[in-house]
Amino acid sequence: MNYRSGTHAFMHGAHTASPLTTGVIPFGLIAGVTAAGMGMSPTTTMGMTLLFYSGSAQIAVLQMLQNGALPLTIVLTALVINLRFLMYSASLAPHLHHLPRRRTWPLSYLLADQVFALFSLRTVTGGLGRFAFPYYMGAAVTMWVGWNLAVLAGVFLGARIPEAWSLNFTIPLSFLALLIPGLRNAATLSAAVAGGSLAVLAIDLPYNLGMLAASLGGVIAGLVVEHLRKDLPAAQGSEAEQEAS
Amino acid sequence: MSELSQWGLFLLIGAGTFAIRLSFIEFYGSLRIPPLLRRALLYVPASVLAALVMPAVVYPDRHAAFDWSNPQIPAAILAALVAWRTRSTLLTLVVGMGTLWALKYAYG
What is the Cα–Cα distance from B7 to A68, expressed in whole angstroms? 16
pLDDT at A20: 85
ipTM: 0.87
Query: CA of A29 to nearest chain B CA: how many angstroms apart?
Result: 12
Residue A242 in domain: no
Residues A148 and A55 in one domain: yes
Asked if B12 and B4 count as a contact pair (C-beta separation under 8 A), the reply is no
> How many CB atoms sit inside 10 A of residue B104's CB?
15
In chain B, which residue's Cα lies nearest the Cα of A200? B55
Q: Per-residue b/e over A52-68, b at no fewer than 16 CB within 10 Å?
A: bbbbbbbbbbbbbbeee
What is the Cα–Cα distance from A118 to A13, expressed in whole angstroms? 9
Residues A73 and A123 in one domain: yes
Do the chains contact at B13 and A74, CB–CB below 8 Å?
yes
Residues A228 and A147 in one domain: no
Nearest to B62 by CA among A200, A15, A50: A200
Taking residues A190-211, report their average pLDDT. Answer: 87
- C-alpha dist (Å) from residue B4 to A36, A64, B11: 18, 17, 11
Residues A69 and A159 in one domain: yes
Number of folded domains that form chain A: 2
B2 touches chain A (CB under 8 A): no
Residue A73 in domain: yes
What is the Cα–Cα distance from A13 to A139, expressed in whole angstroms? 4
Residues A83 and A190 in one domain: no
Residues A156 and A218 in one domain: no
B106 touches chain A (CB under 8 A): no
Residue A225 in domain: yes
Q: In this predicted model, what pLDDT tens digit does every residue of A32-55 receive, in sequence order?
A: 999 999 999 999 999 999 999 999
pTM above 0.90, yes or no: no
**A204 vs A151 pLDDT, higher one:** A151
Residues A155 and A198 in one domain: no
Residue A235 pLDDT > 60, yes or no? Answer: no
Residues A45 and A147 in one domain: yes
Residue A245 in domain: no
Residues A73 and A154 in one domain: yes
Of A83, A108, A166, the CB nearest to B22: A108
Residue A170 in domain: no
- What residue numbers bound the domain in which A222 lies? 183-236
Do the chains contact at B10 and A51, CB–CB below 8 Å?
yes
Among A164, A191, A208, residue at a domain's last position: A164
pLDDT at A232: 66
Q: Whole-number mean pLDDT of chain A?
A: 88
Residues A158 and A197 in one domain: no
Residues A122 and A200 in one domain: no
Residue A57 in domain: yes
Cβ-Cβ contacts under 8 Å, A115 against chain B: none
Residue A245 pLDDT > 60, yes or no? Answer: no
Q: In this predicted model, what pLDDT tens digit does every residue of B14-37 receive, in sequence order?
A: 999 999 999 999 999 888 888 888
Type of residue found at A33 = V
Q: Tell me how many residue pairs between chain A and chain B have CB atoms under 8 A apart.
A: 262
